[in-house]
Amino acid sequence: MDGDVTQAADLGKFLREGLNGINDPPAFGYILVHHTTKPATGKDRAERLWHEVMYDMAGGAEIINWARFIMSLRPAVDKGNFNLVLAKRGMRAGVTKRVEAGAGWRDEPVDTIPLKHSKSLIEIAGRKRKLPAIFWELRDADPAPTEDHPEAQKKGREVTESFAVYRPFFPKPDQPAADLNTIQKAANGTKPISRGKLYECIQGWISMGLILYIPAKDQSGTATYTLAPFAELPKEKAQVRTPEPELPEEATDNLPFG
């Protein structure tokens, strides 16, 4: 693309006007591959929350806002181990794992797929020496966070507040974004909620694609939020860690992807 990958105007011209314009009317989907920012260290790594994984890629937030779905391949603690994180709308991908349930089994939705480099070797005609296979294999999941394993990934806590109740207090996509304090003050006039509880809810709604997260421009700035372009009210209450609401048909008719 031409321009600056950190600037929303340049990204919008490439993604929304360029790529979306080519695919109008929608007939196919794009798969974009992009690199992450430099590895986080110290405090930045320790405070990385599960919903922030989608913002690891280099460039402006318009990349994340444009994409309907984001996967991030992230290294785990042990060399050769990785996690494929379904970072945006991951719980709507239908990926499950089998877990014990009483005398039987049940399929539990997941948004992280543990992977590792294959150690298999392949034979090639004319060569005596076998060569390593370039292949991914499934592996056991990382251990849950404990005092002995502080490096294990942490998950957000479950929240059950209804998105429908707090939706009116968020700016619309064409309005200036608002920070957490502004949204809380607006909500407290009708539906009081603590700052911490609202923050937890917002992280869940971000993962569902209902809210857009706009990172601070610098360390002294403040992150802000707006409604996602198609954050229509679902028939059921939007809750974290439950099957995510499907977008209404009328909201998906003009999307760039099928």
Phi, psi of 116, deg, nearest 5 = -150, 160
Which two tokens mark 51?
Answer: 């919903």
User: Domain for residue 77, yes or no?
Assistant: no
Which CATH number goes with the domain that contains 212? 1.10.10.10
Provide the angle, in degrees to the nearest 10, between the axes of the packed helices 195-207 and 180-188.
110
User: Domain for residue 79, yes or no?
Assistant: no
User: Domain for residue 102, yes or no?
Assistant: yes
Residues 181 and 243 in one domain: yes
From 137, 155, 173, give the residue that closes a domain: 155
The model's pTM is: 0.52
How far is the CA of 186 from the CAs of 118, 179, 223, 230, in angstroms?
52, 11, 17, 22
Residues 211 and 191 in one domain: yes
Residues 149 and 173 in one domain: no
User: Domain for residue 184, yes or no?
Assistant: yes
Residues 258 and 162 in one domain: yes
User: Domain for residue 173, yes or no?
Assistant: yes
- Give the mean model confidence (pLDDT) for residues 60-65: 85
Contact 255, 199 (CB under 8 A): no
Residues 162 and 140 in one domain: no
In the predicted model, is pLDDT for residue 257 greater than 80?
A: no
Please give the Cα distance from 151 to 223 (Å, whole number): 26
What domain count does the chain have? Answer: 3
From 123, 140, 155, give the residue that closes a domain: 155
Residues 190 and 252 in one domain: yes
Please give the Cα distance from 249 to 236 (Å, whole number): 15
Residues 231 and 191 in one domain: yes
Going by C-alpha positions, the residue among 220, 213, 219 that lies closest to residue 177 is 213
Q: Residue 194: its pLDDT value, please?
A: 87
- What stretch of H or E contains 86? strand 81-88
9-29, pLDDT tens digit by residue? Answer: 899 999 999 999 999 999 999
Buried b (16+ CB within 10 A) or exposed e, 151-190: eebeeeeebebebeebbebbbeeeeebbebebbbebbeee
Per the structure, the complete domain to which residue 25 belongs is given by 1-67
User: Domain for residue 72, yes or no?
Assistant: no
From 128, 155, 182, give the residue that closes a domain: 155
98-108, pLDDT tens digit by residue? Answer: 888 878 888 88
User: Domain for residue 74, yes or no?
Assistant: no
Residues 151 and 179 in one domain: no
Contact 74, 82 (CB under 8 A): yes
Residues 257 and 163 in one domain: yes
Count of H helices and E strands in the chain? 8, 10
107-119, pLDDT tens digit by residue? Answer: 888 888 999 988 8
Q: Residue 107: its pLDDT value, please?
A: 86
